[in-house]
Amino acid sequence: MHDASWALAPEGTNPEIVAWVEQLAHLLTPDTVVWCDGSVRERDGLNRLMVANGTLIQLNPEHRPYSFLARSHPADVARVESRTFICSDDEADAGPSNNWIAPGEMRATLAGLAEGAMRGRTMYVLPFSMGPLDSPLSRFGVQVTDSPYVAVSTGIMTRMGSAALERITPGTSWVRAVHTVGAPLAPGEVDVAWPSNETKYISHFPETREIWSYGSAYGGNALLAKKAFALRIASAMARDEGWLAEHMLLLKVTNPRGRVFHVAAAFPSACGKTNLAMLRPSIPGWQVETVGDDIAWLAPDSWGRLKAINPEAGFFGVAPGTGVSTNQTAVDTLWGNTIFTNVALQDDGDVWWEGLTDTPPSNLTDWQGEPWTPSADRPAAHPNSRFTVAAAQCPTMSDDWEDPAGVTIDAIIFGGRRATNVPLVVEARDWDHGVFLGATISSERTAAAEGTIGELRRDPFAMAPFCGYNMADHWQHWLDVGGQLRRSGRVPRIFQVNWFRKDDDGSFLWPGFAENSRVLAWILDRVDGVAPAVPGPLGWTPTPGALNVQGLDLADDALAKLFEVDPAAWSDELDDTERFFGTFGDRLPESMSRQLAVVRERIEAVAAARAEHASAA
């Protein structure tokens, strides 16, 4: 490391940050250290460097102005949940849904791996704010990385640079994040386009608010401000400080009568969050605007209202399935200034992925750089290929998306990808029942995470890969926040949705996409006190005719099937839920056991009533 590089530390930088960076530089031994200021000039220089190194391919500016394609190593394409660890002091605090290693053991492992890990590379220092710079709901962090791809992407996804650094004054709390691709270079050694390491660790230390990531340059493994900070570490901070850090999109919705609502919604990855966040309603008179597409930080204010901010400044979205017919808003957002990762390249220098258009081009270069035609037996874009783009480019961003005070939440929605059992929409009976709905989310596994695609996985609150502490304690924290809100009388209503229920032939019963606005309309009319509902074993559902399906080409029995409750299937589901709850032992909140018993009792009543009706017939 060249001592002269320390002259680059901006004047007035918090001495605590400087000392931390110096300590890391002596351990990681980069050739130089660059303190990033977040400027356009800096970003352009890093992009030019990556084009020269082969990390980025500049796209045809006539089609995608100032946009780039990155191709990762084929073994570095997704979150590595099996290599993601919560290193809490007490193993019980990590809970059964997290991988745990004792902090001392993990620190020793990482220290050995980190020694000299940045040799031959540049260490970039990235100061950033999660949330608007001067919001009381925002929090600060500093990440070091040896990946210019990560540096540029962090500049898109956060408020990164000099303005954030100036605000991390002595006494200000900040999260420490360390990232290296784990690929040191010997003198004269030629670098590869996507340096990474087969050995990977993404480790979180919730008590000391630290993140260490080694070996991966991909997405959430390396953009530590995103899932690692904004969810895993922030959820532990939120538990300690009385707020919530959640895997939720945020919407602003205006109804035909001019009333404005704000909605927070939790869906597992690749289950339609971005499509809902950028929804274009199919029904007249309703307007939907985007506040956030992935993460929400929520906190009761002094008036007892639940306020929320989007802590991110950009979108890191799944490309496949994002297209003109499914999400025109997202397509419009990606007009330029975008980094695409692991999508296909067209002959004209533009990008393509499955779902962008109904018909694929006749010739492409696939995500690994190989020729591709529609007759190929493999996808052209990786199923978890991504786009990284500033949220400000989205044409549906709400005018209050950066309000430092946050937006007031009127409704909370939970959803997953379920082919059976779960109805199109259900309203919780109360807050505690709503927490039960969130705790029992399950979804077929997708390409965004490791595992067998299609396998059913429990994903409570869509937080299974992201909660930085014991999930049962997370549910109790939600119950506690609800109690605080109840005392103020400003409790958001909670709903569960399922766009993905299928008929016996495997076809979707509900058209989804823009038509989901019809379900959203019923939900918000419930909040507004004008939509009728009927109580059922799972909660409140629309009365016949209450859900606007005018103009939809639905099969005659589609609505009945969308809301059908099969007592036998639900009995099995509740048995499975009870086994799942059992994995949390005595950490399980008593309220969750009570809610399970209530649903079981109501399902048994439905079964008994149907048996009696059949007997009478």
Question: Catalytic positions, please?
Answer: 271
Task: Work out the angle at residue 147's Cα, subtended by the Cα atoms of residues 145 and 150, and round it to the nearest 5 degrees.
Answer: 85
Distance CA 464, CA 421 (A): 21
Strand intervals (E) in 192-259: 201-205, 210-214, 244-246, 248-254
Beta bridge partners of 344: 352
Q: Are 286 and 255 in contact (CB under 8 A)?
A: yes
Alpha helices of 311-373 — where are they, by DSSP H? 328-333
Which is it for strands 139-145 and 174-180: parallel, antiparallel or unpaired? parallel
Distance CA 277, CA 316 (A): 13
Q: Which amino acid is at 553?
A: D
Distance CA 184, CA 606 (A): 64
560, burial (CB in 10 Å: exposed 0-12, middle 13-18, buried 19+): exposed
Beta bridge partners of 494: 412
70, burial (CB in 10 Å: exposed 0-12, middle 13-18, buried 19+): buried
Phi, psi at 49, each rounded to 5° = -60, -45
Q: Are 602 and 574 in contact (CB under 8 A)?
A: no
Tell me which DSSP letter residue 492 carries.
P
